[in-house]
Structure 1
Amino acid sequence: MHITGKLEVEVDINCHGDIFHEIFSTRPHDVSTMSPENIHGCDVHDGECGKPGAIIFWNYTLDGKKCVAKELVEAVDEEKKMVRFKIIEGDLLKEFKSFTLVVQVIPKDNITGVRWTAEFEKVHDEGHYPTKLIDFCIAVTKDIEAYQID
């Protein structure tokens, strides 16, 4: 038996949604400046930022542990303000057979929503779900919001 799942969270922010989307679609290297406690580096290893097929390498800290992830940009939808990343190497794949992270900007009346969706298949049925990663995404979102307002 394999356990697959989907965790989703929406965070309301007070910064322009187009800028937030642009950061993850075409300027991911800027995230380490905006959230230095969480993201320590980001390099594009192959392809072009903002285009499907790009390979991005991240250095980050999750739950006090230094981690790495190599992600394939599967989709960038400018109309829906969405970017879909598939983890192809790194620490998350020790616990998850597959892991995809989607970030989407949701326009609202006076604020902007940022929806993070983690889709995963666990390697083993026991063990935790990626709630710490969702908490991490919330923290990065709030850091970007604070950086953009200042």
Structure 2
Amino acid sequence: MIFAIILSMRFRNLKKHQKKTSQKPKYFYASFTNRIKAFITDLFMIYAPILYICAYVIMDGKDDFQASQLAPLLSTALYGFIYAILLSKFGQTPGKKAYEMEVVDSKNGEHIGFFRAILRFVAFLFTAATLLGLFLPLYRKDRKALHDILANTLVVVEKK
């Protein structure tokens, strides 16, 4: 009888210890305003030069660029490709680096892969088109936007 009680007490202590060690790592989620600022920074540092090169170097000017249906699509695709490379290699874009944020997997905290970064970018395009998913971080504790939920990612404050 005493042996069974001691054994059950040890089992409870072991179970408590397992619960403590199996908790998710603590993240500091990036603020909504910093995410917006980082996005605007990325637009000026990555997307604007792509648009300029496409409109004035490849094509004959802004009128030809605006008349084309393929040029904006290719510019956005190139931006998405560069965005995915930066996220998969470094976990952040220049805008996220400026505001000390990074995009990580929500389960293990590691950088995401290239194809997941592409999925996140495509989901962002659809989310931005509806505008509803972009304001989702204002109502969630983990501050995930719709594209973060779909790609299973988090935007967190950079680890130092």
Q: TM-score range by the shorter chain?
A: under 0.3
* Length-normalised TM-score, structure 1: 0.26
Q: Higher strand proportion, which one?
A: 1
Where relative contact order (Cα < 8 A, 6+ residues apart) is larger, the structure is 1
The answer to which structure has the higher helix fraction is 2
Please tell me whether Structure 1 or Structure 2 has the larger radius of gyration of its CA atoms.
Answer: 2
Normalising by structure 2, report the TM-score.
0.25
